[in-house]
Every structure is written in structure tokens, then in C-alpha cells.
Structure 1
Amino acid sequence: MAEGPEDFRAFQRTLAERMRAIEARSGRPQKGDDIILSVMNDARFGAIDLRFIKPWADNDQHSKLNVMIRKVFEIWHETSANRYTNPETGRAYDLPGAVQMIFSDLGTQTSQSKRGFSAYNWIRSELIRMGVPAEQIAFMQDYDKAAAKLRLFGDLNAGRKRILIGSTATMGTGVNAQQRLKALHHLDVPWLVADIMQREGRIVRQGNQHDEVEIYAYAQQGSVDATNWQLLERKMRFIGLAMSGDRTIRRIEDVGGEGNQFAMAKALASGDMRLIQKAGLEADIARLERLQAAHFDDQFNVRRQIQRAERDIRTAQTRIPKIEAALNQRISTKGEAFALHRNTKVVESREKAGAWILSQARLAEREGRTGRWTMGRIAGFEVMCEAHEQQFRTSDKRKREVVSTIYLDTPAGEIEVETDRETKPLGLISRIEHAALRLESDLAETQRSLEEAERRLPAYRAREGLPFVEAVDLQAKRAELHALDAELEAEGKEEEAALKSATANDDAASDAIEKTEEVA
């Protein structure tokens, strides 16, 4: 944690004034107007070093940037004698010395032209001034070709380069230079948890020859840093809950959404820790309320799943005996055993049986007859034909037409046999026989459905009625926020009363002076 000198506190006050001006502005910002994003960017840059804001400012030895540089040099000096082994040959590398990585998405070399100052250039020049050989320092942005990157990684593993500086985008992935990597430094605070994970994945990595590694995160006292690290911690905790397999987590949202952005920016700019605490509490409460809503959604889903499982069990228990009865009633039609039993006649030819059934169904359609009648028995089941009217729209008129449906009437229910204008007699009989043979698969599917419903029902019942585990924490944070709001409101009223009193005294003094001048 870098100390916050008076110059930095004055800078924080200017940010607070800018935020008040933005808050007081009505309507949409015009071109050239100050906006929240600009304030936040200046806050993040200023937290590293005030020369990003005022390039002419003096070098502050207490800035976060200089604090980090001293730590990097200290580790560079302490690890200069460390020896490492080439994993390919099993022999010690010729050169000693550990490697360090410095991550910063802000203050790259391009910021020299945009803001008049570059953290990258300053880190290199200061380390060289302290005694680090220039050839041991590298900027990742200088190695944009694949071959150049491979040479750089080789130099780092061999000890020819010992300090690598880069951004999350250039150095967060695809960097296999972990053999000597002893320390990693976060100079800035990235926005995303994924950025932190990518950065630290460079050092916490298989192939690193250290038993322990060091990760440093830097913050400027009274700046945006502390709260940004806190926001990342909240996001990481929420993601951890989701990744843990907790089934009550049904929605993941970024806790740093737009609704809290203005309050957080105002708090950071003010430097008042109570406002930062208030913004943090509001973010925590919003997160917990989302978790609470997800919990209620989950409980609703649990009850619905219980009802569905119970319904599936009842349906299966009712249907299984019916399918078994249908199987007991079914008669084999394999090979020459096929027969269509009509009232007075038995048709043993599949083609003749199919032709007769189709002719009766299509005759009903042509004559416009509706109703339901038996066509005979196949496989021990009644072959039924049902004809009914349907309406079709042709241009602006409605046309009525009779259509027929053929199905098997079984104890397990009606099994429809699909037909169309192109269906042939043998094709129809094949479909009827296949429908009768589907009973085994229907029984197996229904039994599987019963077993699955009986298996999942106890788990859902165990979750039914579970309380929201963070209810106490939510209630406590709401109470804490309420107390903090009351404190800030009371202080605001006191300041307002003091201001009115001071104004009244000034007015009285002015009146007295005027009267004295009149007497004179």
C-alpha cells in the first residue's frame, strides 16, 4: 500500500469536484463535456503516478509506481544467485537469477504521447539507474512475431532476460516462461476476474522450479485501487459459488453494473471512506438480493420438479399394467401367421387385407361419411377407422373435407397408424404390424421413466423448503447500510445548519459595517 501524500489528496478533491459537476449537469453530455468514464480513467492513472495527470509534476518516491519498482529491484537483487535446471538436458543453466513479470494495462509506451508519461519507460529507466543491466529488461509489446516470442521465452528461461513488462492482452496467455518465474506484480487493477486469472496463470503453472512464488498487488492509499480490488474479490466469490455446483445459483450477473457505477465513482472520487463503504455495501446487497432471487427461483423450480416427478410416477404406474395387458392380448403375425379377422371372413393375404382397409377408408372420404367403425382384427387388436370433417381455406373460401385415421385399439390405448395418399396396401399392413410390435419398447420406456422419476424425487424433496443461506448476512448488511445512511444524513444536516449559521453571521457583519459607514 503506497502512502497518499497531500498532492494526491488534492487530486482526489479535484475528482470529487468533477463528479459533482457531472451530477449537477442536466441532459445528455455534449461533445467535450466531462463524463464519468474520464473521471474513472484519470482516477486509475493517477493512482499509479500523478505524472499521468500532470507530466510536469515532481517524482514522488511514495507513489505506487515507485513502491513497486523498489520491490522489483529488491527481489532482483535477492534472487541474483538462484540456480535453475534445464528440464530438457537435466543440467544447470549457465546463468543464475530469477525472473519477474510486471503486469499493467495502463501506462504502456503509447501513453508517453497521449499523457506525457509512461510507466513502462519509467520502470526501465529507474531499474537501470539502480543497477539492473538494460539487456535484462524486456517489454512484451516489442515481441509481436511468433519467432520473436519464442526467442524471448528462451531468454527468460535461460536467465538472459530477468524482468518482463507487459499487459494482460500481450502477456496474459501463451507465455511459457515459468521455469525461473519467482514474482509477479499487478501494478494496475484490471476490470475482470478473468484478467487476474490469466495473469496469475503465468506463474502458478506446471514447470515452475520454485517451491513458493510471490504475487504482489499494489494500491495507492485513498485511491480507486482498494475498492477496485474489493470489487474483483466480490466478483470472484460469486463466480466461485456458481462454479462450485451450487444448484441455487441460476443467474450470474456482473456486480459492477451500471446501476452502481455512478455511486462507486462518486465514492472513489470523494476519498471519504464512508462513501466507499456505502457503495461497497450497496454492491454487496445487490449481489445478495440477486442470490436471494435465484434461491426463490430455485425453490419454485424444485416444487415444479416434485410435481412433475409425482405425475410421471402416477402415469407410469397406471400405464404399465395396461401395456402388459396389451402384450398378453397380442397375437403373433409373423410369416404365415398373419390374418385379418373380419366378422364373416378371414383374410390371410397381407396385400388383400391392406387393400380392403385402404379402400374402406378412402371410400368414406369420397362419400363424406363421418364416424368410427371396426375394420377387423389384426395381431389380436381391433383395427379402427375414424373419419371426421376438416376445414381448409382455399383463396377466400372455406372448403370442408372428410379425412380418415387408422389406428389399433389396445388395452394400452390407441396406437395410430400413419397413412397418406401414397400409402400402399403392403405398406399399411407393415405399419400395423410394427405398431403392435412397439409395445415392448413402450413398456421399457415407461418403466425407465418410472425408475428415473422415483430416483430424482427424493433429491428434490430434500431441497424443498431450504432457507436462503445468506439471509442473515443480507439482513446485517441492510442494517449496516441503514445506519450509515442515517449517519451521513445527520452529518449533512449539521453541515447545512453550520453553513446557514455562517451565512447569517456574515450577513450580520456586513449589515454592521454598512451602518458604521453610514454613521461615519
Structure 2
Amino acid sequence: MWRDTAEIKGTQLVFCDLSTPKNDGSFNAYDDIKQKLMAQGVPPEEIAYIHDAKTETQKAELFAKVRKGQVRVLLGSTAKMGAGTNVQTRLAALHHLDCPWRPADIEQREGRILRQGNLNEVVKIFKYVTENTFDAYNWSILENKQKFIGQLMSGKNPSRSCEDVDEAALSYAEVKALASGDPRIIEMTDLDSQVTKLKLLKANHEGQRYMLEDRLIQFFPQAIKRRQEQIKGLEEDIAHLQAHPQDKDHFSISLAGELYTERKAAGQAIIEACTQMKNVSERIDLGEYRGFPLTLWADTQTQKFQVTMKHSLSHTIELGSDPVGNMARLDHALNIMVENLEENRANLENLTAQMEEAKIEVQRSFPQEQELAEKSDRLNVLRIALNMDGKTVGKRQREAEELESDTQGGQPSIKGMLKRLGVESAATASPPAKGKDMEVAI
């Protein structure tokens, strides 16, 4: 990378949290990397440690050199070279020399290069692992933490969502697999991710099916029954209305036992009836209009006077201050019944179609059931195979050797039996040597 980006003076960041530069001649990762870079031809003045900048002024000067390409390799820790390190101008690569303890540390590190102001449209990020070391465990811990954080921040419950963990967690899992050095673990990691996705998809499918079953048992029958009752009531009310026809030239309404043939006078009589109400809980039989009994009452929520007309169903209007307008509202409430009837018939037809479709959908099996079964079987085979690999066999061989060493003359010893049990009596334990310092290593 140092040679490939020489034309633009491309820079690189190297993160290492498990070591610090020292001046006492002892080994440390920083000096070792610097020596190796110098052996490859990198001038020492183009290599810098963040630890050399002791003050904010020195840091600002160092960052300015990195942005200009005078310092092309900057080494540091997440704490010292994370937030606030604005050196992205010429960054071409970032190196994770070790695995940090928190997913946020990865974000802080990579946030130095994945940000606006970088002249490079394409950058590279390297993660380094060593086979048969603790690296696989560290990346596994980081993977589990990122899964939890991703689920918490997204608000998704994995048992009720078809979404898998986020991409960052998957990349940690891949690094963990690579660190193991066994291609079967890489395959198992990939399969584990796929099986998890398929299980979540299946759980989502089952949830949808249970919801449809509930709707078939309760919602659809009740909704269809309500629509049917509404249609029947509207049909009866429309027939009753047609049996009491009126036109503009022949108007009549009965209010408080008196017949009115003028709309304005009738509307004024209704308003007068409102003024005679004594309390809001009162309901007054107002009269009859086109065969529909009229009831006057007060709506305490809207604080408006209402008139309800009822034969099979109730049809309510809100009264206003205009007498003629109130009569027009009564006529509109009756005339709109035909439109309401057509709307309810359409809703009934739609509900019936939805119910029939739900009956079909509820019988559908999970479409990827076969794929889930095959991948789950393969995953189980890999897990069994990996549990029987050389490491486990070696452990069993060591146990056999320990068992053989803990026998006396072909007979098991008490000390060996207690050791395998996890306890060892004071009588069999060797006492500490007197006069010698005892050292505890942590």
C-alpha cells in the first residue's frame, strides 16, 4: 500500500491496543512494526506513533503532517487515535492489528477512514488474526456483543422478526472463522447464519399463519355478520322510506303533535324544542318524519344537539342554527341510505374474498422448509465433526494418561479419584515449603 499510493502520498493507520512503544529496549509491537517497515524501504520520518504527541498542539501538528502526506504511517491505540483524529484526507488503508473489546471500538477505528473529506474513493481495511490463538475467541466475543447491540438499537425481537443480525456482526463471525484455520468452521459459520435467517423467516411465517387463524375464527365471522345486519337494516329502511314519499311541493312533518308543511317553520320548531330541554340527559320524542320517529337529545362530548331517526337502524344528524339547513340535513341523512347500502355490499364482498384467501393461505406450508431441513442437517453434521476433531481427541488422550498415572499397581488411587472429582483433601495435598516466598501470578 505504501508503494501503490506513493503518487498521492497515501497514508495508513495501524491500530494496536495490546502494546505500547517503549524506550527501554524491550520488545513491543510498535517498534517491531516500524523496524519491519523500514526494512521494506519506508523512511523512518514517514512513520509516527500517536504516543509521541503529548499535548494537543503536538497532536494537531502530527495530524496536519498525516493530512499532507508527510507522515504516511501512523500507529496508535483506539483510545488515543479514535474520536477526534481527523486525518482522513489521504487515508488509503486501515489496519486492525488486534481485536478490541467493544464493537464501538471498531466503529471508532473505522470512522477515521470511512468519512467525508477522503480523497480516495476506495479504501482498504485489514483485520489480522493468527491461527490456533486466542484471536478466534476474541472475535467470537465481539460478534455476540454486536448481535445484542444491533437487536437492542433496532428494537427488533429476533423471535418475531425475519431480519438477521447486522452486517457488522457477520463480518466479525467471518473473521472468527478465518482465525480458526479450519475450512469446516468457515462453512459452519456461513451455514449457521443461513439457518438462523431461515428459522426467523419460518417463525414469521408461522406468526402470520396464527394471525390468519385468529381472523378466520373471530374477525371475519363477526365483521361479515355486522355487514349483513347493516345491509338488512338499510334495505328495510330504504323500503320504508320509499313507502313514505315526499317531494318539494308536498312537504310535511309532525313535531310535538303538530303538523308542519313549511320547512322553515318546521326547522324553527325543532330549535324551539331544543330551548325547552331541562338537562343534557333528557331524550325527547320529537315527532315523525317520512315514517321515521324522531328523538331529540344532547351529545355531551361534542356539546351539540342531535336528532335521531330510527326504523330498523338509527340515522343521526347534528343540528345547527339555520332552521332550513336542519331540514336539509334530515333529508340528506335519509337519502344517503342508498349510497351506504352499496358501500356495505362492497365491503361484504371484500370481506368474503379476504376470508376465502385466508383459508387458502393458512394451509400453505413454509416454502423454504426443505432448504431449512437440509442446511440444519449439514450444520449438525459439521458440529458433530468439529466436536470430534484432534483437539477433543487430544483432550481425551490426556485424560487417559492422567487416569493411568493416578493408579497404583493397577488399582485406582484415592488421590487420583479426588482429583478427577474436583476436590483434593488436605491430607493428600502437598504442604508449601517453609522459608520460601510464595508467588501468585495473575
Give the TM-score normalised by the residue count of structure 1. Answer: 0.46
Paired with 1:152 and 1:408, the residues of 2 have a C-alpha distance of: 86
Structure 1 match to 2:366: 466
Structure 1 residues 182 and 459, CA gap change in structure 2 (3 angstroms)? farther
Percent of aligned pairs with the same residue? 23
Paired with 1:438 and 1:134, the residues of 2 have a C-alpha distance of: 92
- Of residues 162, 184, 199, the one that matches 1:292 is 199
Structure 2 match to 1:481: 383
| Structure 1 residues 270-323: Cα deviation after superposition (integer angstroms, max 9, x where no partner) | x9999x969x97998699468626632442224425764982984796488579
Structure 2 match to 1:132: 43
Shift of 1:187: 1.3
Long gaps (5+) in structure 2: 245-249, 298-305, 414-442
- Of residues 199, 203, 208, the one that matches 1:301 is 208
Structure 2 match to 1:99: 11
Structure 1 residues 505 and 98, CA gap change in structure 2 (3 angstroms)? same
Structure 1 residues 196 and 323, CA gap change in structure 2 (3 angstroms)? farther
Structure 2 match to 1:66: none
Structure 1 residues 230 and 318, CA gap change in structure 2 (3 angstroms)? same
Structure 1 residues 157 and 273, CA gap change in structure 2 (3 angstroms)? closer
Matched, 1:503 2:413: no
Letter in 2 for 1:225: D
Matched, 1:409 2:310: yes
Is the 2:162–2:200 contact (alpha carbons within 8 Å) kept by the matching residues of 1?
A: no
Matched, 1:223 2:126: no
Shift of 1:470: 3.1
Structure 1 match to 2:294: 383
Spell out the pairing of 1:306-345 with structure 2 (5 A cutoff): 308=215, 311=220, 314=224, 318=228, 341-342=254-255, 344-345=257-258
Structure 1 residues 433 and 470, CA gap change in structure 2 (3 angstroms)? same
Shift of 1:139: 2.5
Query: Mean alpha-carbon deviation: is it higher for 183-192 or for 122-131?
Result: 122-131
Structure 1 residues 357 and 313, CA gap change in structure 2 (3 angstroms)? same
Spell out the pairing of 1:244-259 with structure 2 (5 A cutoff): 249-250=161-162
Paired with 1:175 and 1:445, the residues of 2 have a C-alpha distance of: 65
Paired with 2:43 and 2:4, the residues of 1 have a C-alpha distance of: 13
Q: Secondary structure of the equivalent of 2:406?
A: helix
| Structure 1 residues 43-76: Cα deviation after superposition (integer angstroms, max 9, x where no partner) | xxxxxxxxxxxxxxxxxxxxxxxxxxxxxxxx43
Is the 2:209–2:361 contact (alpha carbons within 8 Å) kept by the matching residues of 1?
A: no
Paired with 1:102 and 1:379, the residues of 2 have a C-alpha distance of: 90
Q: Secondary structure of the equivalent of 1:185?
A: strand
Spell out the pairing of 1:146-185 with structure 2 (5 A cutoff): 155-166=65-76, 177-185=87-95
Structure 1 residues 497 and 287, CA gap change in structure 2 (3 angstroms)? same
Q: Secondary structure of the equivalent of 2:14?
A: strand
Paired with 2:360 and 2:55, the residues of 1 have a C-alpha distance of: 57
Structure 1 residues 117 and 272, CA gap change in structure 2 (3 angstroms)? same
Q: Secondary structure of the equivalent of 1:184?
A: strand
- Of residues 204, 214, 235, the one that matches 2:124 is 214
Structure 1 residues 448 and 121, CA gap change in structure 2 (3 angstroms)? farther
| Structure 1 residues 351-393: Cα deviation after superposition (integer angstroms, max 9, x where no partner) | 642553686795986xxxxxx996434698543479xxxxxxx
Paired with 2:121 and 2:400, the residues of 1 have a C-alpha distance of: 62
Paired with 1:83 and 1:202, the residues of 2 have a C-alpha distance of: 22
Paired with 2:47 and 2:133, the residues of 1 have a C-alpha distance of: 32
Letter in 2 for 1:100: Q
Paired with 1:459 and 1:170, the residues of 2 have a C-alpha distance of: 60
Paired with 2:117 and 2:51, the residues of 1 have a C-alpha distance of: 21
Spell out the pairing of 1:56-71 with structure 2 (5 A cutoff): none
- More relative contact order, 1 or 2 (CA 8 Å, 6+ apart): 1
Paired with 1:319 and 1:196, the residues of 2 have a C-alpha distance of: 63
Is the 1:141–1:170 contact (alpha carbons within 8 Å) kept by the matching residues of 2?
A: no
Letter in 1 for 2:366: L
Structure 1 match to 2:270: 353
Shift of 1:218: 0.6
| Structure 1 residues 126-183: Cα deviation after superposition (integer angstroms, max 9, x where no partner) | 767975344653529959979976x766543432332234555776677665453222
Letter in 1 for 2:50: F
Q: Secondary structure of the equivalent of 2:208?
A: helix
Letter in 2 for 1:475: D
Shift of 1:219: 0.9
Structure 1 residues 227 and 152, CA gap change in structure 2 (3 angstroms)? same
Q: Secondary structure of the equivalent of 1:470?
A: helix
Structure 1 residues 357 and 158, CA gap change in structure 2 (3 angstroms)? same
Shift of 1:484: 5.0
Is the 1:250–1:294 contact (alpha carbons within 8 Å) kept by the matching residues of 2?
A: yes
Letter in 2 for 1:376: G
Paired with 2:334 and 2:82, the residues of 1 have a C-alpha distance of: 61
Paired with 2:345 and 2:64, the residues of 1 have a C-alpha distance of: 62
Query: Mean alpha-carbon deviation: is it higher for 436-445 or for 500-509?
Result: 436-445
Is the 1:98–1:180 contact (alpha carbons within 8 Å) kept by the matching residues of 2?
A: yes
Letter in 2 for 1:185: H
